[in-house]
Amino acid sequence: MSNVAAVTTNNFENEVLKSNSPVLVDFWAAWCGPCRMVAPVIDQLAEQYSGKVKVVKLNVDENPEIAEKYQILSIPTVYLFKNGSKAEEMVGARPKQSFEEMINKHV
């Protein structure tokens, strides 16, 4: 998780909503098998898009307020935020190419 910062309810607004660059948010939980499958891909995306897209993770068990606000009903869910609002979302474990296609539309 070298290039992927953890965000919480306390810093979500500053790190995600007020970011000058697009932000990819991985909503996950420690007990979630598919989340663990996606984690290496999220790490690769953080490295690949370094300087263009901020990549962060939010643990839904530790930050239920944010998960509820964005109606995260299934994990992993990945949102791409741009200019303070959700631009796109992807639910479930997906191949890296799917995430790249989503990101490339917004950078």
pLDDT of amino acid 88:
96
9 counts as catalytic: no
Write down the pLDDT at residue 3: 74
pLDDT, the chain, mean: 95
For 33-70, the pLDDT digits (tens) are: 999 999 999 999 999 999 999 999 999 999 999 999 99
Protein fold of 5-85: Glutaredoxin (3.40.30)
Predicted local confidence at residue 1, as pLDDT: 43
Beta bridge partners of 80: 24, 88
The mean pLDDT value for 3-19 works out to: 95
Report whether 24 contacts 55 (CB < 8 A): yes
In the chain, what are the domain boundaries?
5-85
* Active-site pick, 16, 25, 35, 53: 35
Catalytic (active site) residue 40: no
Amino acid identity at 3: N
CA distances from 25 to 17, 64, 78 (A): 11, 15, 5
pLDDT at 48: 96
Which residue of the set 32, 66, 72, 90 is catalytic? 32
Listed residue (106, 105, 95) closest to 41, CA to CA:
95
Query: In which band, very low, low, confident or very high, does the pLDDT at 2 lie, cut at 50, 70 and 90?
Result: low
Is the overall model pTM greater than 0.85, yes or no? yes
